[in-house]
Amino acid sequence: MPVQNSDVSDIFNKMADLLEIEGANPFRVRAYRNASRAVSSLPRSVSDMLESGEDLTDLPGIGKDLAGKIKEIVETGSLALFEELKGKTPSGLSQLMKVEGLGPKRVRALNRNLGVTSLKELEEAARTGKVRELDGFGEKTEQKILEELEAYEGIEKRIKLIEAEQRARSIVEYLKGVKGVKKITVAGSYRRRKETVGDLDILVTCKRGAQVMERFVNYEDVKKVVSQGNTRATIILRSGLHVDLRVVPQVSYGAALHYFTGSKAHNIAVRKLGVKKNLKINEYGVFKGDDRIAGKTEKEVYNQVDLPYIEPELRENRGEVEAAQKGSLPRLIDLKDLRGDLHAHTKATDGHATLEEMAESAKARGYEYLAITDHSRKVSIAHGLDARRLARQIQEIDQLNEKLRDIVLLKGIEVDILKDGTLDLPDAVLKELDVVVCSVHYHRRLSRRKMTERVIRAMDNPYFNIFAHPTGRLINDREPYQIDLERIIEAARERGCFLEINANPDRLDLSDSHCRMAKDMGLKLAISTDAHSVADMDFIRYGVDQARRGWLEPDDILNTRSLKQLKKMLKRT
């Protein structure tokens, strides 16, 4: 069976959970989490890299020991150390860590005192009143656990876009090996670039007699073949992901692509327009009576109902059809519109590259500038910078900028917003910076009112520029903290601050709907990667996807500006 990057990442993440529950050295735990993130974000399969003889220690955060473990997982499908760890600490405890409010200490207490090893056992213990009897829990905590469990169980099991992308890429490459295949497109929510994907819909056009169905159902990652016909098959991968393959004639390709890209609500809205013109629109084409009059391209489908082409990211029936009728569709932001990245880390804290390495990577991407925003001192586990170390880094950046050509490093910091709304570093050092990115990492469980007031109080500081990952969510892993984003957006606009679209595929924070809200309220946003390595800078495209889903145009994005324009916009005093 092929081992995907997500399989390796999952093992490392679960190992980190179990080690944390055991009370292991936090730096060892962090090493596994960093390795998990590094592997999950790779554009290539580690299996392919090993097969071609590449040195995995060249990857950020992967030393000789972790490279050996990756090789073991790829070759055997498992990791002996992980199996040994599961023997001592039940692996189900890793799932408990995903419940908001249950950190490693509480999970350890639940396991040792109540024998809890699964979500089901946790729910039973909470419903029978046993949890409240433990030290450090109480009735309110017990009730909160029940509420979180109910929310967790109600979450639709969808995978992150980056994982769907890796699995889709493997299948598409595999199908390209079939003689006679012409086009292969992954449709559905994947093509609309939703932050999570429930299943994959793949469309193929090919020559008559091409053995595409036979090859598809024999893909080596298949756990179960649900159905197989001449033009459609469905498989379930070992990961549990459902994949549908449809072979469509070239004459219907555009209609099928439109139909299976969705969303369902968008398709219904388009079909209703067709009905008004006595047209029938389905996956086979656009029909007038029995005659197919369009369907080879998506543009043909839209033209038949007097609409211009609508980009897949907009197809959610959130006003795009009406905008198309009025000729007011946005000219969506594109990757090439960006001139720089405003949130990146180096080896000075928890990054994996030097200032110079990050600068060269930004230059290779055609950027004019890159903001270096290492953590401030509050994030002690990342060896955050105090005022003295930050002053030294400012000096290093100034010296490096004198040598660099065609790229400028901006002096910045990711400074923590403390519980009382003050910033983690004094104004005396913040005023020396080009950009101050501010974020919440601690005291996440404040009430909606208190969290909102905390952030607005921080925005009152004249050196506050960009509010990073504004809801603190981790997709499928951590719920957003409570915050009134409408008030935050209004406060930012009034004070000359900005919000970030964090492009890390684990975050994608802001959501698409909040991007749209910011646009409607007149606030410009920054698309930033929060890169901790050179490879992480590739995440920028996920931020662009999110911005496009939020109807954002180049003018809505802070870092489409030239360096001179950017500095002017960042200057509040």
Residue 329 has, within 13 A of its CA and on its CB side, a CA count of 20
Return the CATH number at 171. 3.30.460.10
The CATH number of residue 62's host domain is 1.10.150.110
Do 163 and 147 fall within a single domain?
no
Q: What stretches of 256-405 adopt beta strand conformation (E)?
A: 280-282, 285-288, 291-294, 340-341, 369-372
Q: What is the CATH number of the domain that holds 551?
A: 3.20.20.140
The reported pLDDT for the residue numbered 367 is 98
Residue 82 — φ and ψ, nearest 5°? Answer: -65, -45
Q: What is the CATH number of the domain that holds 302?
A: 3.30.210.10
Asked if residue 441 and residue 365 are part of one domain, the reply reads yes
Q: Which of 282, 297, 326 is the last residue of a domain?
A: 326
Residues whose CB is less than 8 angstroms from the CB of residue 273 and which lie 6 or more positions away in sequence, other chains included: 305, 306, 307, 321
Are 415 and 467 in the same domain? yes
Mapped onto helix, strand or coil, the DSSP state of residue 7 is: helix
pLDDT at residue 60, as a whole number:
79
Q: Are residues 150 and 164 in the same domain?
A: no
For residue 263, the model assigns a pLDDT of 96
Same domain, 285 and 314: yes
CA distances from 465 to 122, 369, 558, 564 (A): 43, 16, 11, 16
**391 with 431: CB under 8 angstroms?**
no
Of 326, 361, 378, the position where a domain reaches its end is 326
State which residues form the domain around 501. 335-570
Phi-psi sector, 421: left (phi>0), alpha (psi -120 to 50), beta: left
Same structural domain for residues 20 and 115?
yes
CA trace torsion 147, 152, 155, 159 (10° rounding):
160
Same domain, 221 and 259: no
Over its C-alpha atoms, the chain yields an Rg (Å, rounded) of: 25
Distances (CA, A) of 252 to 120, 301, 374, 490: 48, 10, 52, 47
Q: From first to last of the 573 residues of the chain, give the pLDDT tens digit.
A: 678 888 898 899 888 988 988 888 888 888 898 888 888 877 778 888 998 899 998 887 788 999 999 999 999 988 999 998 888 877 778 788 877 778 888 888 898 899 888 888 998 999 999 999 888 888 888 888 888 887 665 555 789 999 999 999 999 999 999 999 999 999 999 999 999 999 999 999 999 888 999 999 999 899 999 999 999 999 999 888 999 999 999 999 999 999 999 999 999 999 999 999 999 999 999 999 999 999 999 999 999 999 999 999 999 999 999 999 999 999 999 999 999 999 999 999 999 899 999 999 999 999 999 999 999 999 888 889 999 999 999 999 999 999 999 999 999 999 999 999 999 999 999 999 999 999 999 999 899 999 999 999 999 999 999 999 999 999 988 889 999 999 999 999 999 999 999 999 999 999 999 999 999 999 999 999 999 999 999 999 999 999 999 999 999 999 999 999 999 999 986
Torsion of CA 456, 458, 459, 464, to 10 degrees: -160
Contact 247/267 with Cβ under 8 angstroms?
no
Strand-pair category, 199-206 with 242-247:
parallel
Quote the number of domains for the chain.
4
The b-or-e profile of 326-349 (16+ CB within 10 A means b, else e) is eeebbebbeeebbbbbbbbbbbbb
Whether residues 229 and 121 fall in one domain: no
Note whether 360 and 500 are same-domain residues: yes
Tell whether 136 and 272 lie within a shared domain.
Answer: no
Q: Are residues 345 and 449 in the same domain?
A: yes
Phi, psi for 234 (deg, rounded to 5): -130, 130
Whether residue 536 contacts residue 504, with contact meaning beta carbons closer than 8 Å, is answered with yes
| Shared-domain flag, residues 216 and 191 | yes
Domain boundary among 103, 137, 154: 154
Helix (H) or strand (E) holding 410: strand 408-416
Cα-based distances in Å from 433 to 343, 410, 532: 13, 8, 20
CA angle 357, 362, 365 (to 5 degrees): 130
- State the CB neighbour count (10 A cutoff) for residue 394: 18
Whole-number pLDDT of residue 94: 79
